Every structure is written in structure tokens, then in C-alpha cells.
């Protein structure tokens, strides 16, 4: 009788995952909390008229901008620290995500890609492809580089590890973009919250894709173009969000409205994040179940 310890070793890990924090619950909580906060500020300002429609103070806007990072620390990271085997370097990955956004992505966007100069003049598919192949791909590729060189593959033991690290790098990346908006734009608290949500939620969606493809590359049996396909898919998702957002937030101008629909923009961002979370949760659950079934059939 032959015995292949390497094969058993690898599959045992999938059948009995390490006692790590499950990611989806806190990821959903963060996304929902961000959505509800933005919606509440919008309702208090634009519907109920409780909050001022004058520009908020810089400190108030910056407080809103760092809220996704605080939510992540309070929900995901705190839950992670309470497990028997917390994932290491999560905060380092978040900081690296913020650094590449600040040091590489923002300068490239402002001085090279300059999407506001040429994308608005294109049609829907032009905007989708134009954004995906410049700003979108750059963001996903930088997040991939952070994950690849910081934690991959030594800290990938299960598919959910890729998601957890992907969400951390996305939060760091999106926080820098939100801070730029908060610092440079004289906006109300509601407008800042809407913008922060519409920046953060699509980045969470894109990073779930990159994280999954990276984890699967280490754990599963993948094709030779698996990783490029994942990066392109994540970039296309961000491009699709940009293109649909141009349609969603521009409403019909009339006597009673200004022609913009910020709430639709928020719903769109939340929809992209929710659809991606649901789809990849299903894919990962199915893949883990198949692996466990295959293992149980091999065991005596």
C-alpha cells in the first residue's frame, strides 16, 4: 500500500481549518454599518433637514473619512484578536495598503491618468474600459503587490485568509482616497459620508476578488492565467461601478431637484459590495465543501 503524506497534509488543512476568525460576518457588518451611517447622514441633511447643508469642518470630514478603518479595527480586527490563532500582520497589510495608495496610486491618478479629463466624454463602455484599465487596474494591482509580498503564501492556509487580508488592504487603500476627498473638498457631512461609502465599498469588493484568486493560487489547482484573470476581473468590477455610477447619480433635473441622485450612487456601491460578498462566499463554501467531500472519500 502506498502512502502520500504531502497529499494528506494539504487536504487535512482544508477539511479541518485552523481555528481562525470567520471573515464574512464582520465584513457584512462593516459594509452595512457604513451604508447605514451614510444613509442616516443623508436623511438627516437632505430629507429631514436636521443637519446643516453648509460645508462641514475639516475635522468632521476627516472623522467620516477614517470611519471605515475604525469600523474594521473595532469589528474585524478585534474579533480576529479574540480567536485562538489570529491572522498575523493584518494591521501591517492595512498600513501598506494606505502607503501604496498615497505614494503610488494617487500620484498616478492625479498626474498621469487624470480620469476626469477624458472619461466623462466617453460612452458607457468607454468609461468602463477606460477606468478599469487605468485607475481600476492600478488599484487592484497595487493591492495584489502588497498581499503578494507581505503575506502570500506563508500566511494563506485557507481561502478565507485571502479574503481577510484582501479586506484589510482595501480598507487602508480606501481610507487614503477618502482622506484626500475630505481634505480637498468643502462638503457637508452627508456628502462626505456618501463619498466615503462609494469609495470604500467597491474597493472591498475588488479586494475580495484579488484575495480569493491569490488564496486559490496557493491552495487549489489553478490555470496558468488564473491570477491575471483575477486582477482583470477586479479591475472590470471597479470600471463597471464607475460607469454605472455616472448613470445612477445623474437624475432628471427639474423644478424640484438638482438632477443628481446621491442615494442611487450609495445603493449602487452597496449593491456591488453585497453581490461580490455573496458570490464569493458561495464559491468559497462550495470549494471547501468539495475539498472536504473528496477527502472523506479517500479516508478509510
Partner 1 sequence: MSNFTSFEPSPPLNRVQRWNIYLALVTAVIVLGLGLTMRNTALTATQPFENLEAGVRAQVPRGWLIDTAGPDFVIRAQDPDALPFKTLLQISVLPIGPDATPNKVLDLLTMERAARFPAYRELLRADQTVRGEPAKRMEYVYTQDERNPFQATVSLVIQGVDVVVLRRGQAVIITYREERSAFTDHLYYFENLLQTVEIF
Interacting residues with partner 1 (CB under 8 A)? 88-89, 92, 95, 112-114, 117-122, 126, 129-130, 132-134, 137-138, 141, 144, 148, 150-155, 217-218, 221-228, 231-232, 235
128 contact partners, CB below 8 Å, separation of at least 6: 236, 239, 240, 242, 243
- 290: phi then psi, degrees, rounded to nearest 5: -65, -40
> What minimum distance in Å lies between the beta carbon of 92 and partner 1?
5
The smaller minimum CB distance to partner 1, of residues 54 and 221, is found at: 221
Nearest alpha carbon to residue 172 among 115, 244, 93: 93
> What minimum distance in Å lies between the beta carbon of 232 and partner 1?
7
> What minimum distance in Å lies between the beta carbon of 88 and partner 1?
5
The smaller minimum CB distance to partner 1, of residues 89 and 180, is found at: 89
The smaller minimum CB distance to partner 1, of residues 1 and 112, is found at: 112
The alpha-carbon radius of gyration of the chain (Å, integer) is 21
Q: Count Cβ atoms within 10 A of the Cβ of residue 228 and give its class: 0-12 exposed, 13-18 middle, 19 or more buried.
A: exposed
The smaller minimum CB distance to partner 1, of residues 37 and 222, is found at: 222
- 259: phi then psi, degrees, rounded to nearest 5: 95, 5
The smaller minimum CB distance to partner 1, of residues 66 and 227, is found at: 227
Q: From CA 40, how far away is CA 62, in angstroms rounded?
A: 18
The smaller minimum CB distance to partner 1, of residues 41 and 172, is found at: 172
The smaller minimum CB distance to partner 1, of residues 40 and 102, is found at: 102
> What minimum distance in Å lies between the beta carbon of 215 and partner 1?
12
> What minimum distance in Å lies between the beta carbon of 265 and partner 1?
19
Check: CB of residue 132 under 8 Å from CB of residue 235. Answer: yes
Nearest-10 Cα torsion for 165, 171, 177, 183: -140
Q: From CA 17, how far away is CA 178, in angstroms rounded?
A: 35
231 contact partners, CB below 8 Å, separation of at least 6: 137, 140, 141, 144, 210, 213
Q: Count Cβ atoms within 10 A of the Cβ of residue 187 and give its class: 0-12 exposed, 13-18 middle, 19 or more buried.
A: middle
> What minimum distance in Å lies between the beta carbon of 257 and partner 1?
21
Taking the alpha carbons of 243, 245, 249, 252 in that order, is the dihedral positive or negative?
positive
> What minimum distance in Å lies between the beta carbon of 292 and partner 1?
23
- How open is the CA angle 115-118-119, to the nearest 5 degrees? 65
> What minimum distance in Å lies between the beta carbon of 228 and partner 1?
4
The smaller minimum CB distance to partner 1, of residues 151 and 193, is found at: 151
Amino acid at each position: 500500500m502506498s502512502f502520500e503524506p504531502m497529499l494528506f497534509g494539504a487536504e487535512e488543512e482544508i477539511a479541518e481549518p485552523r481555528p481562525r476568525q470567520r471573515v464574512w460576518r464582520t465584513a457584512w457588518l462593516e459594509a452595512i454599518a457604513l451604508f447605514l451611517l451614510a444613509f442616516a447622514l443623508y436623511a438627516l441633511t437632505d430629507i429631514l433637514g436636521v443637519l446643516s447643508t453648509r460645508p462641514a469642518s475639516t475635522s468632521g470630514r476627516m472623522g467620516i473619512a477614517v470611519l471605515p478603518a475604525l469600523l474594521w479595527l473595532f469589528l474585524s480586527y478585534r474579533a480576529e484578536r479574540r480567536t485562538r490563532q489570529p491572522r498575523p500582520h493584518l494591521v501591517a497589510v492595512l498600513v501598506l495598503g494606505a502607503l501604496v495608495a498615497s505614494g503610488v496610486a494617487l500620484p498616478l491618478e492625479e498626474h498621469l491618468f487624470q480620469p476626469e479629463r477624458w472619461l466623462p466624454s466617453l460612452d458607457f463602455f468607454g468609461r468602463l474600459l477606460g477606468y478599469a484599465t487605468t485607475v481600476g487596474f492600478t488599484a487592484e494591482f497595487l493591492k495584489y503587490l502588497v498581499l503578494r509580498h507581505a503575506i502570500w503564501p506563508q500566511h494563506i492556509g485557507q481561502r478565507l485568509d485571502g479574503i481577510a487580508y484582501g479586506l484589510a488592504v482595501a480598507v487602508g487603500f480606501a481610507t487614503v482616497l477618502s482622506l484626500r476627498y475630505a481634505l480637498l473638498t468643502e462638503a457637508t457631512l452627508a456628502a462626505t459620508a456618501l463619498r466615503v461609502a462609494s469609495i470604500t465599498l467597491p474597493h472591498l469588493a475588488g479586494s475580495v476578488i484579488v484575495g480569493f484568486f491569490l488564496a486559490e493560487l496557493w491552495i487549489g489547482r489553478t490555470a496558468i492565467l488564473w491570477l491575471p484573470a483575477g486582477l482583470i476581473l477586479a479591475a472590470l468590477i471597479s470600471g463597471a461601478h464607475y460607469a454605472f455610477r455616472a448613470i445612477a447619480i445623474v437624475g432628471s433635473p427639474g423644478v424640484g431637484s438638482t438632477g443628481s441622485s446621491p442615494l442611487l450612487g450609495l445603493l449602487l456601491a452597496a449593491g456591488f459590495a453585497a453581490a461580490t460578498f455573496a458570490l464569493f462566499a458561495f464559491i468559497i463554501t462550495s470549494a471547501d465543501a468539495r475539498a472536504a467531500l473528496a477527502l472523506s472519500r479517500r479516508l478509510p
